[in-house]
Structure 1
Amino acid sequence: MINMKKKFSSFEIGSFISTTIFDDLTLSPNTRKIDKKIGNLISQVIKNKEFAGKSSESILLRTPQTSVLVIGLGNKKCLSNDKLRDASAKASITAKNLKAKSFVFNHDILDMTNDHVEAVVQGSELGLYNFNIYKSNKKDFRPSTMNIIIKNKTKTSLTKSIKNGEIIANAMMLSRDISNLPSKDCTPLQLASRAKKISSNRPIKTTIFNTTKLKKLGFGGLLGVASGSQQPPCFIIMEYNGGKRGEKPVVFVGKTITFDTGGISIKPSPSMDEMKHDKSGGATVMALIQAVADLKLPVNVIGLMPATENMPSGSAYKPGDVITFYNKKTAEILNTDAEGRVILADALSYAQNYKPKMIIDFATLTGACIIALGTAVSGLLGNDKKIIDSLFESGERTGEKVWELPLTKDYKKLIQSDIADIKNIGGRGAGTITAAAFLSHFVGDYPWAHLDIAGTAWTQEGTPKKSYIKKGATGVGVLLSIDFLRNL
């Protein structure tokens, strides 16, 4: 929830101020004034080589009059939205720790773009993110005002970017909240209620398919995975029409497993608690639809979220079962822990009803993606090079990096079944690719991209250290998708 006021301000040194420096160590006009005010301490730490202006480097200088956080941004030619997002997060976190009711973020060394302002606003909020709803003491000091000082002479055109930055940060925090919730408080039907609440005061149409409707439509994948759980599944549809009437929509699909035990092919117990994050794809899509509506983007966007638990029981689907999907294709189930692709199959098939411009799905799909790419980038596969390239460029601009993996006919042969059309696993090798090969059977001829966010949806070993990313869910995919839609 956004409750810190942000505004452009004239230069003033208060009880706490942060300022940015590149690695050439040139002090901006305002930084020189700050330096003079605190007895040339900034110059001194630079001279003593205690501060080099490297990216993500910071040093807090304290005097009786004021505290100054000096933040490094690295090479001036390599300034990015992500570096500014991280820098402003450092500033807001420090303000919180110092219990400063207001603080200054000074960046007067270069003119700022709208994207830069949005990133600064996002970082300031995401740095203060705290999932504390289960803490008995929820008191959490937050600064009330952030004064942003920039070099630009004209700021009018940038003012809207403050609001837009808040909208995007709010969506990312929504995604994090949903992903972080334990399954008992985020069942499929509870998630459907949240979608309806989001829609209630926005131009979003939300439709929920219950078990009866799913059976009537033939959602064999979603119903199969849900068969072991006492929690009924549902299919959440959120539609936003901000584009021209009749314009083909972009359809986003999010894997929404509210808890994944692996089913009959049960997972080992260590770290199984993290499987509350297996709904992160759906969390991203729900948050994205909210943000697109709040930003009033001139596009038609649809979000599809197949939601269920994956549990073992006497009624659970089993290895060896054959499932018939919405598009009438059949799959032999060899591993019930490869359930994400099984529920996505129905959703991707249903997406074709909208005759979409393209389909993009987000899924915490395979541990193999972490083996291949680690936890710094998301896996990217698909059937349309233009979409793949555009998503890669959005990843570079936003810091939510992606990397393409091949998806050729050779891999598709690995999921051929002896008794059904396909099987839901393809052996030990290339697990991320064979999972995408499975999904490719359900998108028809429509342009499609698949993002495997198994390594990036929540913090794990190797997650890049960024001040705006807290332990737990990251909200990955929201920034990427908004940038992608803005650049269509």
Structure 2
Amino acid sequence: MDFSVKSGSPEKQRSACIIAGIFEPRRLSIIAEQLDKISEGYISALLRRGELEGKVGQVLLLHHVPNILSERVLLIGCGKERELNERQYKHIIQKIINTLNNTGSMESVCFLTELHVKGRNTYWKVRQAVESSIEALYDFNQLKTNKIELRRPLRKLVFNLSARRELNIGEKAIQHGIAIATGIKIAKDLGNMPPNICNSEYLTLQSRKLAETFENINTTIIEEHQMKKLGMNAYLAVSKGSNNKPLMSIIDYKTDSSTSKPIILIGKGVTFDSGGISIKPSSGLDEMKYDMCGAAAIYGIMHVVARLKLPINVVGIMANCENMPDSNSIRPGDVVTTMSGQTVEVLNTDAEGRLILCDVLTYVERFEPEIVIDIATLTGACVIALGHHISGLISNHNPLAYDLINASEQSGDRAWRLPMTDEYHEQLESNFADIANIGDRSAGVITAACFLSKFTRKYNWAHIDIAGTAWKSGKNKCCTGRPIAMISQYLLNRAGFNVDD
């Protein structure tokens, strides 16, 4: 879908549809008031008859409103005027898109970016409208034989801004919004693909396509025999029970304008997690194809970085493999020697993500990174702690944690920082190795990060646990593409884009 911005009055709009807001109780927004005046009280008369109360998400589609040049006027409920929040704003945008997409309105002019959303500026409102619109239109139908195609889908959305001086920032918001939404879409496509198709080799193929698409990206693949030479025994131990070989994609983005040390992004890419010998319960086991959502996020983020040509150096790593049980599988009680030389007693083969990541965290030392961030569907404990709304964040560097939390607030892709003090490290003590791969049942999200932190002493590092936010279950089962929006915002901030003015 095409997006654009302009500045104009509603009476001059000749479009398939004009979108205006109505507040509770039956109060006209400024734009709706103008439309009502032009139509000689037509809209206010409808409201007095109770056609629309103005509650968030209520819609009323009007055809051929008197004296209005546009064919349709879509009135959308926006709740109480001074209480419109971010979540409601996004819901309203998605409701608009779903409504228009089924009415034959192929293009529309939206005046909702002029609404007051507490603490949010024009850039935020336009960008979130773009991201929410593309989100609303997402459909994974690649594997369906009977694909339903709309005859006249929505193809163009114009955001009307109150002042011409805001057009440049509106255009920048559209550029950023499209890039981020596209990165989220392609990551969702990867996450939703079934594990018999989306294995390590498939993910590797996608990473190579990035290098073919963008001239500033170079992709290198680390294969199993190379991992053996490097001593990545913990990573290799996870994949021993699978016929699908482990493959690690190194996606290197460089710009001529930046000589800074790289920011390293690592994504856990377990394409199916059976739990191994510590096998998972059968209920919901199909959703373990989503255990590669960290790697999918890296793929999406690198697409955003390259598309926006950010003046920073970023290395994205997709750590891909599969965790399956067979006679070769790693067993509870086994001890493995990691690439760092530290030994790990494996008490639970379903705590495999940290075994993969610990070797990758050692591998990235060769890049002399400024920052390292890993993204992983790591612990069910994070779901218990934070539910499905907020990602977990743990870091060994306070400024990095602050910057990431700030980016999460700016983007609406929220994270919450958890502690990592010495007491939690004690839970990982082992009688037979330097460290155990799990502690007891308490504070599982924290002890998992404590484990990873033992391999990050040479740089500033943050861990983002997306076990609760990477996908939705039930009827609306789908990969979410999180935390692409948050990390993209962090990288935009690092690149010097000021979006708060």
- Measured after TM superposition, the shift of residue 140 of structure 1 is 2.8
- Measured after TM superposition, the shift of residue 222 of structure 1 is 1.6
1:207 aligns with 2:220: yes
CA RMSD of aligned residues (A): 2.4
Task: State the match for 1:479 in structure 2.
Answer: 485
Aligned ranges 1:68-467 → 2 under 5 Å: 68-72=74-78, 76=82, 80=86, 83-107=88-112, 109=114, 113-141=122-150, 142-154=153-165, 155-202=167-214, 203-242=216-255, 244-460=257-473
**Which of 2, 24, 27 is residue 5 of structure 1 equivalent to?**
2
- 8 Å contact 2:113–2:125 — kept in the other structure? no
* Aligned counterparts of 1:43 and 1:271: Cα–Cα separation in 2: 52
Q: Gapped runs of 5+ residues in structure 1?
A: 464-469
- Measured after TM superposition, the shift of residue 430 of structure 1 is 0.7
The superposition leaves residues 372-425 of structure 1 with CA deviations (integer Å, 9 ceiling, x where unpaired) of 111111111111111112211211121111111111110011001111111111
- Measured after TM superposition, the shift of residue 434 of structure 1 is 0.8
DSSP 3-state at the match of 1:183: coil
Q: Gapped runs of 5+ residues in structure 2?
A: 66-71, 495-501
- 8 Å contact 2:113–2:159 — kept in the other structure? no
Return the letter of the residue paired with 1:60.
L
- Measured after TM superposition, the shift of residue 109 of structure 1 is 3.2
TM-score (norm 1): 0.91
DSSP 3-state at the match of 1:336: coil
* Aligned counterparts of 1:243 and 1:368: Cα–Cα separation in 2: 42
The superposition leaves residues 280-312 of structure 1 with CA deviations (integer Å, 9 ceiling, x where unpaired) of 011111110110111111111111121001000
- 8 Å contact 1:352–1:444 — kept in the other structure? no
DSSP 3-state at the match of 1:410: helix
* Aligned counterparts of 2:353 and 2:80: Cα–Cα separation in 1: 40
DSSP 3-state at the match of 1:118: helix
* Aligned counterparts of 1:211 and 1:74: Cα–Cα separation in 2: 58
- Measured after TM superposition, the shift of residue 151 of structure 1 is 1.0
* Aligned counterparts of 2:286 and 2:81: Cα–Cα separation in 1: 40
* Aligned counterparts of 2:80 and 2:438: Cα–Cα separation in 1: 44
DSSP 3-state at the match of 1:167: helix
- 8 Å contact 2:392–2:415 — kept in the other structure? yes
- Measured after TM superposition, the shift of residue 19 of structure 1 is 2.2
Return the letter of the residue paired with 2:279.
I
Q: Which runs of 4+ in 1 moved over 6 A?
A: none
* Aligned counterparts of 2:48 and 2:431: Cα–Cα separation in 1: 69
* Aligned counterparts of 1:38 and 1:317: Cα–Cα separation in 2: 76
Task: State the match for 2:69 in structure 1.
Answer: none
Task: State the match for 2:498 in structure 1.
Answer: none
- 8 Å contact 2:231–2:339 — kept in the other structure? yes
* Aligned counterparts of 1:391 and 1:22: Cα–Cα separation in 2: 35
TM-score (norm 2): 0.89
- Measured after TM superposition, the shift of residue 139 of structure 1 is 3.4
- Measured after TM superposition, the shift of residue 8 of structure 1 is 2.4
- 8 Å contact 1:88–1:105 — kept in the other structure? no
Comparing 352-361 with 102-111, which one deviates more in the overlay? Answer: 102-111
Are residues 197 and 108 of structure 1, via their aligned partners in 2, closer, same or farther at CA, if it must alter by over 3 Å? Answer: closer
Are residues 137 and 43 of structure 1, via their aligned partners in 2, closer, same or farther at CA, if it must alter by over 3 Å? Answer: same
Comparing 309-318 with 119-128, which one deviates more in the overlay? Answer: 119-128
Task: State the match for 1:467 in structure 2.
Answer: none
Q: How many residues are treated as equivalent by the alignment?
A: 475
DSSP 3-state at the match of 2:110: strand
Task: State the match for 2:497 in structure 1.
Answer: none
Are residues 49 and 431 of structure 1, via their aligned partners in 2, closer, same or farther at CA, if it must alter by over 3 Å? Answer: farther
